[in-house]
Amino acid sequence: MPELPEVETTLRGIRPHLEGRRIARLLVREPRLRLPIPSDMPARVDGQPILGLSRRSKYLLIHLERGTLLVHLGMSGSLRVVPVSSPPRKHDHLDLILNDGRCLRFHDPRRFGIFIWEPQSADRLESQHPLLKDLGPEPLGDGFDGDHLYALSRRRRIAVKSFIMDASVVVGVGNIYANESLFLAGIHPSRACNRIGLERYRRLAATIRSLLQDSIRQGGTTLRDFVREDGQPGYFAQSLRVYGRAGEPCKVCGTPVGQIRIGQRSTFYCRTCQH
């Protein structure tokens, strides 16, 4: 699944091509996504100017004059800006055709993505929409730090990995980045979140922020299904310390990287470096 850096990379890639343009037409080839595209959606967005783009967690918000397009890449989705004349590939489910002869093309082999229009401003959508209203702070924003994690963890006993992956605690820390940040912070992923002190949470929060920023700079992780909006893979996967490296030597101490399951997700860690 594309994680927050992949979504942020996509946002930064498509934003200059969409802002200030007008939607000439919405062409829907396959409406059966995770949330079905209503038959009247093209009529509602056709002709609207694109005022801006933003991101909330792993959701992209395309600000229109009379509402907002809410986009999620699902498990395997991607967005590219291509000429309208470019032949669609299999699984190119819709084109947001712009008034300059190009289109934003949504590709999603597993059809688990979302591309819907809501007749609300982006600000109102973030505070009221069921998919957005209960989300925690952005890990790169001012509302996220170790004090925040420490305060929310006091009355909970779940594994710290599950805790930082809870979107009501902080958004966008998916499985890859949870594994990597806990390794860099020296915290065992199965440790109960209420047994971790304030200073260790401050280090963990700083590590999460730094790791995500590094990944964004490098274009995200290279997953099987993810490519950047320009079609090139990201390069952060070359920097992974523990994720996907079970049995290989730890890059710090040489101990074989361990693998367990926490919350039904594969979890990688070093038995020596993390405690």
DSSP secondary structure letters along 119-183: SS-HHHHHHH-TTTTT----TTSTT-SHHHHHHHHTT--SBHHHHHT-TTTSSS--HHHHHHHHH
pLDDT tens-digit readout, 155-214: 999 999 999 999 999 999 999 999 999 999 999 999 999 999 999 999 999 999 999 998
Binding residues for DNA: 91, 110, 156
Choosing from 3, 8, 118, 138, the catalytic residue is: 3
Read off the pTM: 0.87
Question: What superfamily does domain 4-128 belong to in CATH?
Answer: MutM-like, N-terminal (3.20.190.10)
Q: Strands, DSSP E only, in the chain? A: 23-28, 50-56, 59-64, 67-72, 78-83, 92-98, 102-107, 114-118, 258-262, 265-269
Has 251 been annotated as catalytic? no
Q: What is the pLDDT of residue 228?
A: 47
Instruction: Report the distance separating Cα 216 and Cα 258, nearest Å.
Output: 27
Q: What is the pLDDT of residue 229?
A: 52
Has 42 been annotated as catalytic? no
Has 31 been annotated as catalytic? no
User: By three-state DSSP, how is residue 194 classified?
Assistant: helix
Has 124 been annotated as catalytic? no
Q: What is the pLDDT of residue 32?
A: 96
Domain boundaries, the chain: 4-128, 146-269
Residues of the chain with pLDDT under 70: 1, 220-238
Choosing from 55, 56, 58, 200, the catalytic residue is: 58
Q: What is the pLDDT of residue 215?
A: 87
Q: Is the CATH code 3.40.50.360 the one for domain 146-269?
A: no
- Fold match between domain 4-128 and domain 146-269: no
